[in-house]
């Protein structure tokens, strides 16, 4: 087998699974460094840095001219900084103690669903069940089970026959807790808000929501390893640490699968896209669910991720190829960006993901556009731009929800103006 070039064995990580609610892996005094990569030589050297320093990359390494965040334990702080200075790589310590940041964003009062703290899968699912029981315009289904047998739940809000639908997807990446928090915030607004505009949107459009695509990985981030990204299926490979688990499910969709992306072919790495497309039961369940609706019904597909504050449009597999209605999609994305910024000043950059972010294949938004012919699809990368990154404190959940709600209102209205729902 091909051995991974980025197997991260971080100091002080405990591999054994602990009791629910308690982290096995701890990151006391681990730092997050933000690196600015300006030359190709710096990028090539950064890709090799794991050979002598234990390091965890939080972002896929792509184009130069971007900032990349890495986690390094206390034993390697000095070695990393010495290496970075030698390479003339500009760096900044943005988090001095990762464990404190993780503790600050941990699950708080989990007795009932609200949006001031992060919640466990059980609490999220209990809230979904309660809302489904309380409203006859909600159709709730289990669209499949995960590898470990957990339900993947969906909610379809439909108050009027003949509506076109908008699809919201959350937490395909396990560590991105703000994703499902935001998707459930939006769903709650559609169900319970007294805002006339939200009420109108819930009347004039159907809404299909899958808040938790990756329940196994999500539970794993709560109980064992906060930094876990993939699902939890053993993928058949091993390295010096033992069996390798998981597929990056947002690299596993069968649309230009495997054509681009850093380390998508490294089985033990965070971004492994699988040996072939459509290998994961969670992805098959999601695709079958989308395909169960008649063609032309779903007119927008939005996947929510962290982080970076982007509205990423197709395509991801190329930075030179663009969709036929790319200019139209940019106008719609611009409406989201402008409206979201009006709330707290958060700026969302918009454009093709392969152009703005990095080239990568097999993402959900590209499959929804390229295979299902849904005319507006995007990945919304939520707060922030890297200060907290994947560990956004829970006191920002409501702010994120409010700015994304404002953005969503404007996006839907602009999409309607552009004829997306015709």
SS3 215: helix
Q: Annotated active-site positions, please?
A: 381
| Closest among 272, 297, 261 to 372, alpha carbons compared | 297
- In whole angstroms, give the CA distance from residue 376 to residue 420: 7
Strand order in the sheet with 298-306: 138-145, 151-157, 206-210, 165-170, 298-306, 376-382, 310-313, 349-352
- In whole angstroms, give the CA distance from residue 33 to residue 216: 29
Which residue shows structure tokens 């947002």? 250
For residue 118, what are the contacts with CB-CB under 8 A and spacing of at least 6?
Answer: 105, 106, 107, 108, 177, 181, 394, 397
Round the CA-based radius of gyration of the chain to a whole number and report it.
Answer: 21
- The b-or-e profile of 120-139 (16+ CB within 10 A means b, else e) is bbebbbebbeebbeeeeebe
Q: How far is CA 1 from the centre of its chain?
A: 29
- In whole angstroms, give the CA distance from residue 139 to residue 76: 52
The overall longest dimension of the chain from CA atoms, in Å, is 65
For residue 395, what are the contacts with CB-CB under 8 A and spacing of at least 6?
Answer: 116
| Closest among 197, 270, 290 to 230, alpha carbons compared | 270
């Amino acid at each position: 087998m091909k051995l991974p070039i980025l197997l991260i064995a971080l100091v002080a990580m405990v591999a054994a699974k602990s009791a629910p609610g308690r982290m096995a892996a701890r990151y006391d005094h681990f730092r997050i460094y933000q690196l600015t990569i300006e030359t190709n030589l710096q990028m090539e050297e950064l890709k090799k840095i794991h050979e002598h320093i234990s390091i965890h990359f939080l972002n896929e390494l792509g184009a130069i001219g971007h900032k990349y965040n890495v986690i390094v334990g206390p034993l390697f702080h000095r070695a990393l900084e010495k290496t970075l200075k030698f390479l003339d790589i500009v760096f900044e310590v943005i988090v001095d103690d990762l464990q404190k940041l993780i503790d600050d964003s941990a699950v708080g009062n989990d007795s009932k669903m609200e949006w001031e703290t992060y919640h466990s899968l059980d609490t999220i699912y209990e809230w979904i069940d309660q809302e489904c029981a309380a409203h006859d315009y909600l159709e709730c289904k289990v669209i499949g089970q995960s590898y470990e047998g957990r339900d993947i739940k969906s909610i379809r809000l439909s108050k009027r026959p003949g509506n076109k639908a908008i699809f919201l997807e959350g937490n395909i990446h396990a560590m991105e807790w703000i994703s499902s928090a935001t998707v459930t915030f939006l769903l709650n607004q559609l169900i319970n808000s007294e805002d006339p505009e939200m009420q109108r949107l819930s009347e004039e459009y159907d809404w299909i929501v899958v808040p938790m695509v990756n329940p196994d990985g999500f539970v794993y981030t709560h109980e064992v390893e906060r930094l876990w990204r993939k699902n939890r299926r053993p993928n058949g490979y091993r390295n010096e640490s033992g069996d390798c688990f998981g597929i990056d499910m947002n690299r596993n969709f069968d649309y230009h699968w495997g054509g681009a992306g850093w380390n998508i072919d490294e089985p033990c790495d965070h971004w492994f896209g699988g040996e072939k497309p459509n290998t994961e039961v969670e992805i098959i369940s999601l695709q079958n669910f989308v395909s169960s609706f008649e063609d032309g019904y779903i007119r927008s597909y939005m996947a929510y991720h962290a982080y970076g504050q982007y509205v990423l449009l197709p395509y991801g597999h190329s930075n030179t190829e663009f969709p036929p209605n790319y200019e139209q999609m940019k106008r719609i994305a611009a409406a989201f960006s402008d409206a979201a910024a009006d709330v707290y000043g958060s700026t969302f950059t918009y454009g093709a993901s392969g152009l703005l972010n990095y080239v990568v294949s097999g993402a959900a938004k590209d499959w929804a556009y390229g295979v299902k012919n849904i005319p507006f699809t995007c990945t919304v990368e939520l707060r922030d731009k890297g200060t907290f990154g994947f560990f956004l404190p829970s006191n920002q959940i409501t702010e994120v929800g409010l700015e994304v709600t404002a953005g969503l209102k404007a996006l839907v209205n602009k999409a309607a103006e552009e004829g997306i729902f015709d």
